[in-house]
Structure 1
Amino acid sequence: MAQDGSNAEMDREEESPKERATRKWNEMLQELRVAQTGVQVLTGFLLTLPFTQRFTKLSGTDKTAYLVTISCAIGSAACLIAPVAFHRVLFGRSEKTWLITAANHVSRVGLTLMALTMTGSVFLVFDVLLGIGAALAASIVTLVVVAGLWVAIPVVAEARD
């Protein structure tokens, strides 16, 4: 195979629409497994916080930030798991093209909510440990890094092609 992936492209051109849809669905499932695991671990951690002794001492700002963050985490988990539910409901109904499109859209929402969950988590930790200034700075850096890695780099790569 050539390093530029040209043989892979030729193989893909020979795929039937059904084979292409199956490949795309399988690729999406692999990607979702990584994201689902991450958001589930983060959500589980966040769900334990109200049951710690220190939680009652949080400021009103931190409690609000926690509620927004846990809401984003639950929303992210729901969105990243939704394609599995879509598949279960539509299994055997020849709706794979719709399934791939819908799963792509809901996964993007889930990843956006996951980025906000990560940012909110950083805000909470930095605010409790170092104060609001450090929390705001760390949150901005987190959001910029995640947006850069998850959005800017792929957009630039796509524009180059």
Structure 2
Amino acid sequence: MNSPDSAAATATAFDKARTGLWVSLQKHLTTVYEAETAFAQAIAFAEAFPFAASSASPEQLDLYWQRRRALRDLFTDETNQLDTLNKAIRTKGYADAEKKQLYLLLLGYMDIAASIFERLHTEVPKPLPKDDELEETSARFERVRKFARLNVKGIFGLLATAAQ
């Protein structure tokens, strides 16, 4: 049986984890917003998407590809870190309600980040060269997001949704 001291220590550990995750996600969001701003500046020449590569100067296209690579690399890094966070939350000895709180923080960040990283798929030249790494990262990001959402909803939430 857990002693009151053990319960308090567990609560303190969870509070530290939740606060640490919150602070970390805010820093990551700042980085993602900065990359999005740089990418938006690099595509300011485009009036519609997908855009014709001939509508941009060589310098504009060079800047576009630089900023796109930076955003794509950030997407890959963020996805790797989110996957690691997801596993850490899953394996920690927190109560289910505490894990849900952490997954909610993660999902909030992921939903915002997804809207930014989606630009890698929509704000593109035509034709866009195949990018296997981007496709793999996108699929992995979605798996992590679905897993986190599943943990927030729980099995009972899924059964209620399926019954409707």
Q: Same fold (TM over 0.5)?
A: no
With normalisation by structure 1, the TM-score equals 0.35
Higher relative contact order, structure no. (Cα contacts within 8 Å, ≥ 6 residues apart): 2
Q: Which has the higher helix share?
A: 1
